[in-house]
Structure 1
Amino acid sequence: MMDLVRREGITVVYVTHDQAEAMAVTDRIAVMREGMIAQFDTPERIYEAPADAFVASFIGGFSLLSGQIAAGQFRPEATETDLQTDSAIRGRGVLVIRPEDARGAGAHPETQLTGRVASAAYQGRCWRLGVDVGPARIRLDWPERVEPGAALAFSLPPDRCVVLAA
């Protein structure tokens, strides 16, 4: 369908609730919330820079870690860890974690977190881990198996640490 649309140069409004489909078949996406446009942008831009926590949770694939933001630091709930952020937001916020962004603990010490592995599922190119960080369970793609119950220290590239208002 998209080949035909592009070849003919026509404009099409395509409505779907399937986020993966929307990302794959469009050059622009309007994410709607309560009858209003929450974000209108390219699929790449929506994935890389969601406008708010609603858009991030709607697009899916992300983990959202709640916490507090103050003085350029984000502290996830029920942890003693402060992560550097360039977010100008203050107060309650959420850290958007993309599973593919997880790195070893030493890669980015300024954005290091620790959690406990709850699950591990082989995905072919990586292991998809469910990791409990404070009260939240986040999803990480990891290069090797980690046994459930084990502690895991990991980091996130600072330029990929998107913090949004809660």
Structure 2
Amino acid sequence: MDSECARTPEREEPAAGPYPVPDVGAYFAGRWSIERTVSDLRNGAEGSFRGTAGFRPGPAGGGLLHHEEGRLSWGGTVQPASRTLRWRPRPDGTAAIDFADGRPFHDLDLRTGRWTAVHPCAADLYEGTFTVVGPDTWHLEWRVGGPAKEQLLCSVYRRLG
């Protein structure tokens, strides 16, 4: 996938090459800032999300809980927004990512520093490209296509503290 996100001003880091992550559970643990642009590619509408992501141990040793919260600016309004995912790290350093309710979402293997995940959802297709650019920064680009939508979400995550 050609990265349309590489042109956004939030991307200050050079795109020289991915940063390999041998253990996603260890790399992601902690808190991250998020800067996200949201684009509707059909009508040209643009918005943004600013917030934080926390990766902390799940209940009863159940992997990691990935919880994001912040403010979404869209269509002239600003409102709170959040999401929660469950990460199940594997012994080989990869992980299975599930929705908060336990439904499977996608796998994640960043041992080369880059991974593309595909998730069909009803008539829509979600294609996400994860790129780790350094020890404290990673990028996520989701392209969503379907009969009713064509969206691009470009996120930059930076480690906090």
TM-score normalized with structure 2 length: 0.24
Structure having the higher Rg: 1
Considering fraction of residues, name the structure with more strand.
2
Greater RCO (Cα-Cα under 8 Å, separation 6 or more) = 2
